[in-house]
Amino acid sequence: MEISHSPEQPLELPLDIDSIKGFLDPQEGAALYRLAAEASDLGPCLEVGSYCGKSTVYLGSACKLMGNTLFAVDHHRGSEEHQPGEEYHDRDLFDERSQLMDSFHNFRSNMRAADLEECVVPVVASSAIAARHWNTPLGLVFIDGGHSLEAAMTDYRCWSRHVVPGGYLAIHDIFPNPADGGQAPFEIYRLALASAQFELVEMVKTLGILRRIQ
């Protein structure tokens, strides 16, 4: 079954999505919105890697519409590529006092501007720490955290097991060709399919949408 979405039809989001820092394509965001709405009958949604909240607004807006909850997991210290001297470093998100990246203030401001504070629950911790005692079944898990193989594998192992049968696992930045991008998300995507627990539903640009079948 394909998830119905029309990239040409803009979503009615609570604020200008382009004003939020991030790397999510609008077509991918629209697919996440509709996926979160569909998954809401199965359980709460969870994303790994919120950054400044672009994907959170898409997912959270759908959860708000459906009376559901989105857990947004991120330590807000930035991934490897966000650190000083790296390709995606943003000086505006660097905290001079701590000499560390800190996207949480920006994230929280965006949640307030989008009126999503009542349905988005920020979990300010690493993926492994947040998952340590997690027991809540999830209708949707969206993985868009660190892109090192270690980080991606940790995210997959921590959270994919909490997706309920019929629920969805979405993985961002899947590049089958190494020349197009890093391979860690593609590796966990392949691992999920090889597990025989997930089946591919749809690819939307670099967003892989899988359903748990057992």
Report the distance separating Cα 191 and Cα 59, nearest Å. 25
Structure tokens of 2? Answer: 């394909």
Question: Are residues 138 and 160 in contact, defined by beta-carbon separation less than 8 angstroms?
Answer: no
* CA dihedral for 77, 158, 30, 41, sign (positive or negative): negative
Q: In the block, which residue shows the tokens 């020349």?
A: 179
- Kindly state the tokens that stand for 164: 């309920």
What does the alpha-carbon distance between residue 144 and residue 179 come to, in Å, rounded to a whole number?
Answer: 20
Strand partners, 100: 95
What's the distance, Cα to Cα, between the start and end of the chain in Å? 16
Task: Give me Rg for the CA atoms of the chain.
Answer: 16
Active-site residues, by number, are: 147
